[in-house]
């Protein structure tokens, strides 16, 4: 298992942004830009597997899942580690994308690549110091 959680300052910043979205046009723009970027990235990859209508709908659902994982981790209602997060995304993807024998092999290869990237990216955990 690869441990992962949003660092305290990032968690606090994310929660602050989310709590201000209903009240602040600037925070709404930031959140909107993040969601648009996630949707765009997902659509770009999903279009290789799905028709246009399914690509749009699947990108929306996966984007909501990503946002929900960040929200849960930010609020500490569901501590998140990378293995759990990857498994949740993998479950959703296998339900929404083709799941034939060839696709399953590709999904397993992609899972291994994602786990390797996560190990590399999360290997360095900088110390967070508090300035008083």
pLDDT, tens digit, for every residue of 68-118?
Answer: 877 777 666 556 677 788 888 888 888 888 888 888 888 788 778 878 887
Q: Is residue 129 part of a domain?
A: no
Beta strands in the chain (DSSP E): none
Residues of the chain above pLDDT 90, percent:
14
Q: How many domains does the chain divide into?
A: 1
Instruction: Report d(CA 74, CA 28) in Å as an integer.
Output: 18
Q: Assess whether pLDDT exceeds 80 at residue 52.
A: yes
Instruction: Report d(CA 89, CA 98) in Å as an integer.
Output: 15
Q: Is residue 100 part of a domain?
A: yes
> 67 lies in which domain range?
8-123
**R_g over Cα of the chain:** 17
* Cβ atoms 73, 80 nearer than 8 A: yes
Mean pLDDT rounded to a whole number for the chain? 78
Q: Is residue 107 part of a domain?
A: yes
pLDDT in tens, 16-43: 777 888 888 998 898 889 889 989 988 9
Q: Is residue 62 part of a domain?
A: yes
Q: Is residue 33 part of a domain?
A: yes
Instruction: Report d(CA 86, CA 2) in Å as an integer.
Output: 10
Q: Is residue 128 part of a domain?
A: no
């Amino acid at each position: 298992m690869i441990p992962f959680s949003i660092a305290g300052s990032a968690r606090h910043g994310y929660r602050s942004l989310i709590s201000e979205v209903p009240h602040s046009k600037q925070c709404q723009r930031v959140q909107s830009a993040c969601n648009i970027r996630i949707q765009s990235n997902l659509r770009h990859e999903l279009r290789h597997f799905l028709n246009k209508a399914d690509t749009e709908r699947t990108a929306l659902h996966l984007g909501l899942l990503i946002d929900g994982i960040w929200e849960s981790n930010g609020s500490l209602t569901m501590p998140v580690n990378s293995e759990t997060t990857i498994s949740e995304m993998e479950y959703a993807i296998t339900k929404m994308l083709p799941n034939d024998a060839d696709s399953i092999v590709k999904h397993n290869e992609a899972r291994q690549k994602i786990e390797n990237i996560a190990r590399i990216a999360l290997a360095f955990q900088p110390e967070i110091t508090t300035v008083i």
